[in-house]
Structure 1
Amino acid sequence: MSFSYGAEKLWHLTHGMRRLILVESARGTQRFKELEDELAISHRQIDSTDHQLYAHDLQLRRGHNVRVVPLPPGGGARTRQRGSGLQTRGGGTSRRGRGTGDDYE
């Protein structure tokens, strides 16, 4: 039994290994993309739920119903900047300083 391989045999072996690695790499890349997509969907669902909870909390604090204007894509209670509250029809979310006795934070 000989342990030496010819150049052609080695080329075929290494070529086959390269093809296998490329296939496995493509599968890994595809699965990674699928996981990224699932994560993006999960983030949108969390933002939507967070927005609904925020709107419901606002209703409870006010003691009456408000109509909530949908936030633009990518916006949500988790991504709001300080000072930019939920957008509602009929005014802002704060009554502070109006002298109504209904001071909210």
Structure 2
Amino acid sequence: MSSFYDAEDLWYLTHGMRRLVLVESARDAQRLQEVEDELAITHRQFDSKGHQLYAHDLQLRRGHDVRVVPLPPGGGARTRQRGSGLRTRGGGTSRRGRGTGDDSE
């Protein structure tokens, strides 16, 4: 058996490899599209459930004095309870009036 290939043998080998790569690439692209489609469907279902839960929550609160307002960017209502956490000198937790540049303290 010869360890050398002539030009025609090399052409058929490379042509076969190219075809294989193209077929695999097409399969990968098709599978990627299927996954993207499934993801889009899942996002729509998730959004739909979120809207259903929001509407249900409003129905549960019906009869109460409830206002629905958008949350400010970067967070919502304070989560710490009053008086929790470390206390500074002076014992107060209020920061009103401080940090105004007034050095008279």
Q: TM-score range by the shorter chain?
A: 0.5 to 0.7
Aligned residues: 67
Name the TM-score, length of structure 2 as normaliser: 0.59
SS in 2 for 1:29: helix
2:28 is aligned with 1:14: no
Q: Percent identity?
A: 73
TM-score, length-normalised on structure 1? 0.59
Q: How far apart are the structure 1 equivalents of 2:13 and 2:33?
A: 30
**Alignment of 1:49 onto 2:36:** no
Partner in structure 2 of residue 68 of structure 1:
none
Note the aligned Cα RMSD (angstroms). 1.7
Q: Which runs of 4+ in 1 moved over 3 A?
A: none
State the 1:37 CA deviation: 0.3
Look up the SS of the partner of 2:42 in the other structure: helix
Aligned twin of 1:29: 29
Q: CA deviation at 1:61?
A: 1.2
- 1:4 counterpart SS class: coil
Stretches of structure 1 lacking an aligned partner (at least 5 in a row): 65-80, 84-105
